[in-house]
Amino acid sequence: MNSLSLYKTPEGEREVMAIYTAALKTWSAPSTTQTVSTRHGDAFVIASGAASSPTLILLHGAGSNSAIWAGEAALYSRDYRVYAVDLPGEPGRSAPNRPPWDGPAFADWLADVLNGLGVERATLVGISQGAWVALKFAVAQPERVDRLVLLTPGGIVPDRTSFLFRAIGLSLLGTWGLKRLTADLFGDQAVPAGVIEIVVEISRHFKPRLGVLPLFTDDELKRLTMPLLLVGGTKDIMRDLEKIEARLRQHVPNLAVKWLPGAGHALINTQPAVLEFLNQSEVRAEPV
């Protein structure tokens, strides 16, 4: 798959990359960038924080890129070596390849990223599809995950059917429909100026991946013995966080849950809840 196939036009691709380049200039901590080779193409990584600090991996959701972490990087990098990684096949700088959701591809991809960075164990923080990718890796190689933070994760329960129909209907109404859908995804949160416009602009040019994220089995979820934080908004129109919490509680022994009143699916400023969890939960000892 070439990069053009992810976008409706070459001009659209250039516009999205220009938006990303501008966003990276607002990264709130000193940073470097690099690409890491994986069996599913190169992965683009933004690194912040002291190399000697514990590792924290940030994974964005569908239809976006690592720019979503720009404002939170400063807080995370105070105590962690932070790596924000662009998912493949999304509007970032990783390979345009779209590995299959079924099977081990995404777990293998993230394993390759960690190996390329020289990281043996890490705390994973993912939002939406990024949380699903974090889960894929955590159930495949739980011994390499210190703690797991899932923000509005996919793959636990089916998405709301009502959202799917609403998204299809609004997407047919041009820019106005995209703005309405984007606003709905944020719920009642105070959205920073320009954010909705950027999301809409990317949506105008980018071809989203179609399909449904596979659900994890009970046996897979039982492998999540590390401390796990679930974060969700009370006005998430895409996923039923009560059902997600209920299913995780059946199988995950070290589960913490944080509800954000009025927040939608696209969460903003989650770092206070995440850092509180990271500060309170204990990292498992290294195996001997």
CA angle 181, 186, 192 (to 5 degrees): 115
Kindly indicate the confidence band of residue 1, based on its pLDDT and cuts at 50, 70 and 90.
Answer: very low
pLDDT of 55 higher than 90? yes
Count of other CB atoms within 10 angstroms of residue 46: 25
The pLDDT tens digits for 113-157 are 999 999 999 999 999 999 999 999 999 999 999 999 999 999 999
What would the two tokens of residue 244 be? 């997600």
Instruction: Please report the pLDDT score of residue 42 as a whole number.
Output: 97
Instruction: Please report the pLDDT score of residue 72 as a whole number.
Output: 94
Instruction: Please report the pLDDT score of residue 283 as a whole number.
Output: 64
Could you tell me if 154 and 211 are in contact, meaning their C-beta atoms sit under 8 angstroms apart?
A: no
Instruction: Please report the pLDDT score of residue 182 as a whole number.
Output: 82
The pLDDT tens digits for 5-45 are 899 999 999 999 999 999 999 999 999 999 999 999 999 99
The pLDDT of 88-110, averaged and rounded, is 96
pLDDT of 2 higher than 70? no
Residue of 227 and 167 predicted with greater confidence: 227
Instruction: Please report the pLDDT score of residue 288 as a whole number.
Output: 32
For residue 209, give the amino acid letter.
Answer: R
DSSP string covering the chain, please? --GGGGBSSHHHHHHHHHHHHHHHTT-SS-EEEEEE--TTS-EEEEEES-TTSPEEEEE--TT--GGGGTTTHHHHTTTSEEEEEPPTTSSSSS-S----SSSSHHHHHHHHHHHHHT-SSEEEEEETHHHHHHHHHHHH-GGGEEEEEEES-SSSSPPPHHHHHHHHHHHTTHHHHHHHHHHHHHBTS-PPTTHHHHHHHHHHHB-PPPS-PPPPPHHHHTT--S-EEEEEETT-SS--HHHHHHHHHHH-SSEEEEEETTB-SS----HHHHHHHHHHSPPPPPP-
- The closest of 136, 125, 46 to 84, measured between CA atoms, is 46
- Whole-number Å distance between alpha carbons of 171 and 174: 6
The reported pTM is: 0.93
What would the two tokens of residue 286 be? 């290294």
- Whole-number Å distance between alpha carbons of 89 and 99: 8
Could you tell me if 31 and 73 are in contact, meaning their C-beta atoms sit under 8 angstroms apart?
A: yes
Instruction: Please report the pLDDT score of residue 128 as a whole number.
Output: 96
The pLDDT tens digits for 253-284 are 999 999 999 999 989 889 999 999 999 986 65
Instruction: Please report the pLDDT score of residue 26 as a whole number.
Output: 94
Beta pairing class for 43-48 and 81-85: antiparallel
Superfamily of domain 3-280: Alpha/Beta hydrolase fold, catalytic domain (3.40.50.1820)
- Whole-number Å distance between alpha carbons of 239 and 160: 6
- Whole-number Å distance between alpha carbons of 75 and 36: 25
- What percent of the chain has pLDDT above 70? 95
The pLDDT tens digits for 192-247 are 878 888 888 998 999 989 888 999 999 999 999 999 999 999 999 899 999 999 99
User: Which residue has tokens 């901590």?
Assistant: 29
Q: Reduce the DSSP state of residue 211 to 3 states and report it.
A: coil
User: Which residue has tokens 């993230």?
Assistant: 110
Instruction: Please report the pLDDT score of residue 108 as a whole number.
Output: 98
